[in-house]
């Protein structure tokens, strides 16, 4: 084991989540936050449109060196390795930016519903770049919910829901059992792709900014006919289920922009066969 104890790994397998772990210092978190605000804020949207991407918030690790470093953070990878083994890819990231005072929230859902991946071994590392607590609307997870497997979801129309189609578990969820994963800047949590989780509006006095990094072992494959791409961040890929994505040589390097466009095009192609993917966070 590289960073978790046997007991922590067992708890992850029994309960479907673990927290808190420190990835980097609060100072480093503040630098990453500034990077996110500079490159992924509303003011960056016109630049994103000029490079032909819907948003720099989608897979920023293909475009920006700060994000490429973040998804390769050794402390995060050590913990992930203890759960899924040494050959690790990043399939996706989601920027979870909940502005202070906004009514936005995330409904009960299971990530694995939208990723088109099998088997269900994907681990999300949710990395806090600002305080994430019960006031700012941290992620809450129902312990053991991942053991029930895939539960049907329904689209719910509600503009405050932060999932693109408001995808919500179509079953009653006992939210009173949910555990709030409270994190300070620079800390991360881990949750299983079948864990039922949600988050409440931000009633705190700061934006809640976090990045959900979707890590998969290289043995996981995409279930549809499209050849997808992913980024190898540790170990070796002996399975060849994905085309390997390049690390950006510099922010918005032309090769990086081309790789990002290519990855995005494959994603939309894949979502034609697996419509749930169009609802990926």
Ligand X SMILES: O=C(O)CCC(=O)C(=O)O
* Residues of the shown chain interacting with ligand X in the complex, contacts defined by CB under 6 A: 96, 106, 111, 124, 126, 139, 197, 199, 210, 212
Shortest reach from residue 67's CB to ligand X, in Å: 16
The residue among 94 and 271 lying less far from ligand X, judged by its C-beta, is: 94
Shortest reach from residue 106's CB to ligand X, in Å: 4
Shortest reach from residue 96's CB to ligand X, in Å: 3
How far out from the chain centre does Cα 134 lie?
20
Distance in angstroms (rounded) separating the CA atoms of residues 119 and 237: 16
Q: 93 with 214: CB under 8 angstroms?
A: yes
The residue among 191 and 234 lying less far from ligand X, judged by its C-beta, is: 191
* Dihedral sign, Cα of residue 153, residue 156, residue 162, residue 163: positive
Using a 10 angstrom Cβ sphere, with 0-12 exposed, 13-18 middle and 19 or more buried, the burial of residue 44 is middle
φ, ψ for residue 209 (rounded to 5)? -120, 125
The residue among 4 and 198 lying less far from ligand X, judged by its C-beta, is: 198
Read out DSSP for 180-202? E--B-TTEEEEEETT--EEE---
Distance in angstroms (rounded) separating the CA atoms of residues 170 and 13: 24
Give 113's contacts (C-beta < 8 A, 6+ positions apart).
150, 153, 167, 276, 279
The residue among 18 and 139 lying less far from ligand X, judged by its C-beta, is: 139
Shortest reach from residue 60's CB to ligand X, in Å: 15
Shortest reach from residue 117's CB to ligand X, in Å: 14
């Amino acid at each position: 084991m590289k960073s978790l104890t046997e007991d922590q790994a067992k708890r992850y397998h029994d309960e479907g989540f673990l927290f808190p772990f420190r990835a980097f210092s609060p100072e480093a978190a503040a630098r990453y936050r500034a990077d996110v605000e500079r490159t992924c804020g509303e003011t960056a949207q016109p630049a994103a449109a000029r490079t032909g991407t819907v948003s720099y918030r989608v897979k920023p690790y293909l475009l920006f060196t700060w994000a490429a470093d973040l998804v390769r953070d050794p402390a995060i990878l050590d913990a992930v390795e203890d759960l899924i083994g040494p050959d690790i890819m990043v399939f996706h990231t989601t920027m979870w930016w909940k502005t202070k005072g906004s009514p936005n929230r995330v409904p009960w859902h299971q990530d694995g519903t939208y990723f088109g991946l099998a088997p269900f071994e994907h681990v999300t590392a949710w990395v806090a770049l600002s305080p994430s607590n019960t006031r700012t609307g941290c992620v809450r997870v129902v312990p053991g919910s991942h053991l029930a497997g895939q539960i049907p979801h329904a689209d719910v129309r509600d503009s405050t829901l932060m999932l693109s189609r408001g995808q919500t578990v179509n079953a009653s969820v006992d939210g009173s059992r949910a555990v709030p994963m409270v994190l300070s800047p620079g800390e991360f949590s881990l949750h299983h792709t079948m864990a039922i989780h949600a988050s409440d509006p931000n009633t705190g006095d700061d934006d809640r900014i976090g990045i959900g990094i979707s890590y998969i072992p290289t043995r996981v494959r995409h279930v549809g006919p499209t050849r997808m791409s992913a980024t190898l961040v540790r170990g070796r890929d002996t399975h060849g289920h994905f085309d390997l994505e390049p690390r950006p040589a510099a922010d918005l390097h032309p090769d990086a922009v081309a790789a990002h466009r290519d990855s995005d095009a494959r994603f939309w192609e894949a979502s034609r066969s697996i419509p749930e993917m169009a609802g990926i966070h």
